[in-house]
Amino acid sequence: MSDLKDGCVKPAGGPLLPAAESDKMDVLTSLTQEVKKVLARVGKEAIDFEASAFISGEGFKPVKLSDYRGKWIVICFYPGDFTFV
């Protein structure tokens, strides 16, 4: 376990967008929350992101999607730990 002694609140990068898209995300995360921008499309480049992660046997560390560029990648979103399906 390499990095188990981190702080309680350590924000990861989240979506890593080019500047133009990043401006749109600022709108997205502003108070209005009215502009929703889904950027993922089949046949288009994946949106890079950084997230904090738990890796069994390694501990906590930030993971970037682009760390795995050059390989086949599967991302599985799911509603929550300790749920039933």
For residue 49, report the phi and psi dihedrals to the nearest 5 degrees.
-155, 160
Rounded Cα gap, residues 16 and 18, in angstroms: 7
41 near another protein, judged by CB under 8 A: yes
Q: Which of 66, 69, 64, 68 is nearest to 50 (CA)?
A: 64
Q: Does 33 bind another protein (CB under 8 A)?
A: yes
Question: According to the binding rule CB under 8 A, does residue 39 interact with another protein?
Answer: yes
Draw the binding track, 59-78, toward another protein (x: CB under 8 A; -: no contact).
Answer: -x--x-xx-xxxxxxxxxxx
Q: How far is the CB of 30 from another protein (least distance, A)?
A: 13
How many residues bind to another protein according to rule CB under 8 A?
A: 48
Q: Are 2 and 61 in contact (CB under 8 A)?
A: yes
Instruction: Specify the amino acid at residue 11.
Output: P
Q: Where along the sequence are the contacts to another protein (CB under 8 A)? A: 12, 14-15, 17, 25, 28-29, 33, 36-47, 49, 51-56, 60, 63, 65-66, 68-83, 85
